Structure 1
Amino acid sequence: MAAQLRPMQWHDLRRTMIRTAGPLTALLLALFSALLPALPAAAQGQQVQQQQRQFEFTQDYDPSPAIWELSDEDTTIYLLGTIHALPRGFRWRSERLNEIIDTADVLVVESSTYAEVPDAIDLDSKLVARIANRLPTSNRLSNAGNTRWRELVGMSGLDFASIDTMPVLLGLLTVGMSGGEFDTSSTLYGVETVLEREFMRSGRPIRTIEDSGEVMYSLLRLDNSEILRELDTSLTAWDGKSLSEFFDEDYAERYGDAYWEAEHNWARGIVADDFELGLGSGAIGRAFDYNLLDRRNAAWAIWLEERLEQPGTVLLAVGAGHFEGESSLLNMLMARGLEADRIE
Structure 2
Amino acid sequence: MTIKSRLLAAALALGLSQPALAQARPDLDPAMWVVKDADTTIYLFGTVHALDGKGDWFNDEVKTAFDRSSELVMEIITPEDPAAVAPLLQKYAIDTSGKSLTSKLSPKHQAMFAAKLKEMGMPPAALDTFRPFFAAMTLTVLDMQKLGINPELGAEKVLTKAAKERKLTIGEVETMEQQMAMLGALEEKEQVRLLEKTLEESAKGKEILDRMMSSWGKGDADGVAKLLNETNTESPALYKLLISDRNKAWAQWVDARLDKPGTVFMAVGAGHLAGPDSVQRYLKDKGIAAKRVPAS
Band of TM-score, shorter chain: 0.7 to 0.9
- Which residue does 1:8 correspond to in 2? none
Structure 2 letter corresponding to 1:193: K
Question: Structure 2 CA distance, aligned partners of 1:225 and 1:264?
Answer: 33
The one-character-per-residue Cα deviations of 1:250-288 (angstroms, maximum 9, x if unpaired) are 84865xxx9645324323222115342745646xx2343
Number of residues of Structure 1 aligned to a counterpart in Structure 2:
286
Which of 243, 247, 258 pairs up with 2:200? 247
- Which residue does 2:65 correspond to in 1? 100
Structure 1 letter corresponding to 2:261: P
| 1:314 to 2:264 alignment | yes
TM-score normalised per structure 1 = 0.68
The one-character-per-residue Cα deviations of 1:149-176 (angstroms, maximum 9, x if unpaired) are 7644554443333422211232244345
- Which residue does 1:241 correspond to in 2? none
The one-character-per-residue Cα deviations of 1:285-333 (angstroms, maximum 9, x if unpaired) are 2343122211211110111111111111111011111111111111121
Question: Structure 1 CA distance, aligned partners of 2:186 and 2:63?
Answer: 41
Unaligned runs of 5+ in 1: 1-11, 34-47, 236-243
| 1:333 to 2:286 alignment | no
The verdict on how the C-alpha distance between 1:290 and 1:104 changes in structure 2, with shifts beyond 3 A counting, is same
TM-score normalised per structure 2 = 0.78
The one-character-per-residue Cα deviations of 1:6-63 (angstroms, maximum 9, x if unpaired) are xxxxxx469x51xx45431315762x88xxxxxxxxxxxxxx9xx99xxx9884xx53
Shift of 1:103: 1.4
- Which residue does 1:63 correspond to in 2? 28
Structure 2 letter corresponding to 1:165: T
- Which residue does 1:305 correspond to in 2? 255
Structure 1 letter corresponding to 2:11: T
Unaligned runs of 5+ in 2: none
The verdict on how the C-alpha distance between 1:166 and 1:339 changes in structure 2, with shifts beyond 3 A counting, is same
- Which residue does 1:262 correspond to in 2? 212
Instruction: Describe the SS at the equivalent of 1:86.
Output: coil
The verdict on how the C-alpha distance between 1:79 and 1:124 changes in structure 2, with shifts beyond 3 A counting, is same
The verdict on how the C-alpha distance between 1:179 and 1:211 changes in structure 2, with shifts beyond 3 A counting, is closer
Percent of residue pairs identical: 25
Shift of 1:140: 4.4
CA contact (8 A) 2:33 2:293 kept: yes
- Which residue does 1:274 correspond to in 2? 226
The one-character-per-residue Cα deviations of 1:194-241 (angstroms, maximum 9, x if unpaired) are 22122211211111111132122211232435665x589x79xxxxxx
Structure 1 letter corresponding to 2:243: L
- Which residue does 1:41 correspond to in 2? none
Which of 16, 24, 30 pairs up with 2:10? 24
| 1:159 to 2:123 alignment | yes
Pairing 1:179-194 to 2, within 5 Å after superposition? 179=143, 182-194=146-158
- Which residue does 2:180 correspond to in 1? 216
Question: Structure 2 CA distance, aligned partners of 1:106 and 1:155?
Answer: 45
Question: Structure 2 CA distance, aligned partners of 1:181 and 1:187?
Answer: 9
Which of 118, 133, 138 pairs up with 1:169? 133
Larger of the two Rg values belongs to structure: 1
Question: Structure 1 CA distance, aligned partners of 2:248 and 2:221?
Answer: 19
Structure 1 letter corresponding to 2:226: D
Which of 111, 116, 122 pairs up with 2:76? 111
Question: Structure 2 CA distance, aligned partners of 1:107 and 1:180?
Answer: 26
Question: Structure 2 CA distance, aligned partners of 1:269 and 1:231?
Answer: 28
Question: Structure 2 CA distance, aligned partners of 1:95 and 1:110?
Answer: 23
Shift of 1:138: 4.0
CA contact (8 A) 1:114 1:206 kept: no
Instruction: Describe the SS at the equivalent of 1:131.
Output: coil
Shift of 1:75: 0.8
Which of 53, 61, 65 pairs up with 1:88? 53
